[in-house]
């Protein structure tokens, strides 16, 4: 084994249920929900324990992140399509078709994303996983890929990589 050999671990089987509506072509889907599935692959060199990172640690991080989203409404706070106002008690959302929603703040996760597509959720989750691994000192990690399923046969992924040294 060479010091720069790359290895990968993969965890899956993490779930959360949430409501959302994605925007597209200047419009908005009807409000609906999914039972999302989440998986992650972490690549890097082996550390002093002869692993990239502990499976249990990655699962715990992903479970914690998914708990933040579970049984909540996922709001794309940075939407260019929705009119969004926050009050002390609620999020007020108006669609381009003029449909208005008032959602209690406690039921909403306002994500710093432009759309609540599976692609953007995978990107948000990969960023948070990358950050959590870095905070744990996992300097050997080269990349993180997160997949989000919104239904059978429908999934999106996002890969985040450490820039090459040099």
How large is the average pLDDT for residues 84-97?
96
pLDDT band at 165 (very low <50, low <70, confident <90, very high): low
Q: Give the Cα separation of 22 and 76 in Å (integer).
A: 8
**Which CATH number characterizes residue 12's domain?**
3.30.479.10
Number of domains in the chain: 1
Q: What is the pLDDT of residues 96-141, one digit of tens each?
A: 999 999 999 999 999 999 999 999 999 999 999 999 999 999 999 9
Q: Which domain holds residue 141?
A: 7-71+116-158
Nearest to 107 by CA among 92, 93, 90: 90
Does residue 77 sit within a domain?
no
Q: Alpha-carbon distance 136 to 79, whole Å?
A: 32
Is residue 163's pLDDT more than 80?
Answer: no
- HSE value, Cβ hemisphere, 13 Å, CA-based, for 128: 19
DSSP codes joined into one string, 82-105: SEEEE-SSEEEEE-TTS-EEEEEG
> Which letter does DSSP use for residue 123 in this model?
H
Residue 139 within any structural domain of the chain = yes
């Amino acid at each position: 084994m060479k010091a720069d050999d790359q290895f990968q671990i993969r965890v899956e089987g993490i779930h959360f249920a949430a409501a959302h509506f994605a925007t597209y072509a200047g419009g908005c889907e009807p409000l609906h929900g999914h039972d999302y599935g989440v998986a992650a692959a972490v690549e890097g060199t082996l550390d002093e324990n002869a692993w990239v990172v502990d499976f249990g640690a990655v699962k715990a991080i992903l479970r914690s992140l998914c708990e933040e989203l579970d049984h909540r409404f996922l709001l794309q706070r940075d939407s260019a399509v929705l009119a969004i106002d926050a009050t002390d008690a609620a999020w007020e959302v108006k669609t381009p078709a003029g449909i208005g929603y008032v959602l209690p703040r406690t039921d909403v996760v306002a994500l710093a994303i432009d759309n609540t597509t599976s692609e953007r959720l995978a990107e948000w989750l990969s960023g948070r996983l990358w950050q959590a691994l870095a905070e744990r000192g996992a300097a050997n990690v080269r990349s993180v890929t997160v997949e989000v399923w919104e239904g059978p046969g429908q999934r999106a992924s996002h890969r985040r990589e450490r820039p090459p040294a040099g």
